[in-house]
Structures are given as C-alpha cells and as structure tokens.
C-alpha cells in the first residue's frame, strides 16, 4: 500500500482565528439583520422598558464594526502571511491552468469525474467562489452597512462622510441601499450553506483533509498521488 504524502502546514493561526470569528459574526449579523427587516411582534408595555429592537440593532452594529475590523486585519495578513493566506484575495484569473482546475472541480462536484485532484491550499473553484461571493460580498455589506449607519449618526459623522455621502446617491436612496444590503445577505447565506456542504463532502471524498485543516492548519493526504496545486509552497 502507498504511503500518504507528508502533511503540510497551510493555514496560519491568524487565518484560522479570522475564519471562526468571521463565521460567528456572519451568523450574528444574519440573525439580527433578518430581525431588523422582519421585527418580532410588539411586546406589551412601554418600549423603553424592554428596548428589544434596540438591543437587536446594537448587536448588529457592534458585529458590523467587528467584521469590518476583522476584514482589514485579514487583508493585512494576506500581505504578510504565507501564499495560502493570499489565495482568496488574488485568484489567478489569467492562468489557463486555473480555469482548467475550476472546470475539473465543477465536474468532480457534479459526480461526473470520479477522481479528485489534490491541492495543498484551496482548490481553484473554492478560490473563485470565496473571492467573488464572500470577499466581495463582505466588502459590499460593510460599505452599504456603514452607509445606512451614517444616516443615523448624522451628516457630520465620519460614517456619513466616508460612506453615505456617495453610496446613497449611487443606489438612488436609502430604501434601495436597504434592499441591496438585504439581498446580498441571502447570497452570503447561500455561500455558507454550499461551503459547509462542500467542506464536509471534500473531507470524506477528496484525497486530502479539510475540516481538521481549518482547525489545526495542517493538510494531511490520503495517498501519495502527486499534488495538483498550482502554487506549491
């Protein structure tokens, strides 16, 4: 029987901490965002005595600030971290080999191709999906979120100056920003559902570890087939 390829250290601690924190913040923002859009039935008595929607909005805004700071830190780590820390920010869109890899993964995920490829970092389809849906999705939510926040904090606030002043006219008004901010939430929810399904599926069916890798940072391999990774590092 062939020996597995030696384990490789892939995801550094800051990437793993960001992954968990980001996941928790997205859950908090999605639940509170949904409740801002579809508030719970009124509770009886004076509003000031329970302040329910106030707390829901406070959690949303606090998580909003945290997710923005975390993304800035993750961007910094993409610059100073290892090659895999850069992957989701810089998909090699001009490399033919990358697109061949994307096509192969599509066929593999559709159960058309029976043999998985082996990657040290993310596979090309994952990179594409994470870059265009999650990275751009997060930037979009942060920019539109702060634009909405600036409406409340007033025209002299930095949130208004930096975001609301150009985002509101660009979208044609506050209501439209609300709708887009809401719509992209559902895009991110779809990302999360597909991402978790694929992570568990790949952990079982592909040639390498997945779930333990995002927890410990180490990628282990189930056989000694050569690695197909486009950036060996």
Question: Considering beta carbons, is residue 1 or 41 the nearer one to ligand HEM?
Answer: 41
Minimum distance from CB of 86 to ligand HEM (Å)? 9
Task: Look up tokens 């779809």; give the residue.
Answer: 190
126 and 116 Cβ atoms separated by less than 8 Å? no
Phi-psi region of 45 (alpha: psi -120 to 50; beta: other; left: phi over 0): left
d(CA 233, CA 222): 19
Question: Considering beta carbons, is residue 19 or 225 the nearer one to ligand HEM?
Answer: 19
Minimum distance from CB of 102 to ligand HEM (Å)? 14
Residue nearest to ligand HEM (CB): 145
**Chain Cα centroid distance, residue 19:** 8
Task: State the residues that interact with ligand HEM by CB under 6 A.
Answer: 15, 19, 22-23, 26-27, 29-30, 33-34, 36-37, 57, 60-61, 64-65, 67-68, 87-88, 122, 126, 130, 134, 141-142, 145-146, 148-149, 178, 181-182, 185, 188, 192, 195-196, 199-200, 210-211, 213-214
Task: Look up tokens 């406070």; give the residue.
Answer: 58
Question: Considering beta carbons, is residue 1 or 206 the nearer one to ligand HEM?
Answer: 206
d(CA 35, CA 38): 5
Minimum distance from CB of 1 to ligand HEM (Å)? 25
Task: Look up tokens 């058309």; give the residue.
Answer: 112
């Amino acid at each position: 029987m062939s020996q597995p390829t030696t384990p490789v250290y892939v995801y550094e601690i800051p990437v793993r901490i960001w992954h968990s924190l980001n996941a928790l913040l997205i859950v908090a923002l999605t639940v509170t965002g949904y409740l801002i859009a579809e508030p719970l039935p009124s509770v009886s008595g004076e509003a000031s005595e329970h302040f329910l929607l106030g707390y829901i909005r406070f959690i949303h805004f606090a998580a909003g600030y945290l997710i923005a700071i975390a993304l800035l830190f993750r961007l910094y780590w993409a610059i100073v971290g290892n090659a895999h820390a850069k992957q989701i920010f810089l998909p090699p869109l001009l490399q033919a080999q990358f697109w061949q890899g994307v096509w192969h993964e599509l066929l593999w995920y559709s159960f058309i191709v029976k043999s998985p490829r082996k990657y040290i970092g993310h596979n090309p389809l994952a990179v594409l999906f994470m870059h265009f849906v999650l990275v751009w999705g997060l930037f979009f939510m942060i920019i539109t979120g702060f634009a909405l926040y600036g409406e409340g904090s007033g025209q002299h606030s930095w949130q208004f100056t930096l975001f609301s002043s150009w985002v509101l006219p660009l979208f044609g008004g506050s209501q439209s920003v609300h709708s887009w901010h809401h719509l992209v939430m559902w895009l991110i929810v779809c990302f999360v559902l597909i991402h978790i399904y694929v992570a568990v599926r790949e952990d079982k069916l592909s040639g390498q570890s997945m779930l333990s890798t995002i927890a410990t940072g180490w990628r282990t391999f189930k056989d000694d087939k050569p690695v197909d990774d486009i950036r060996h590092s």
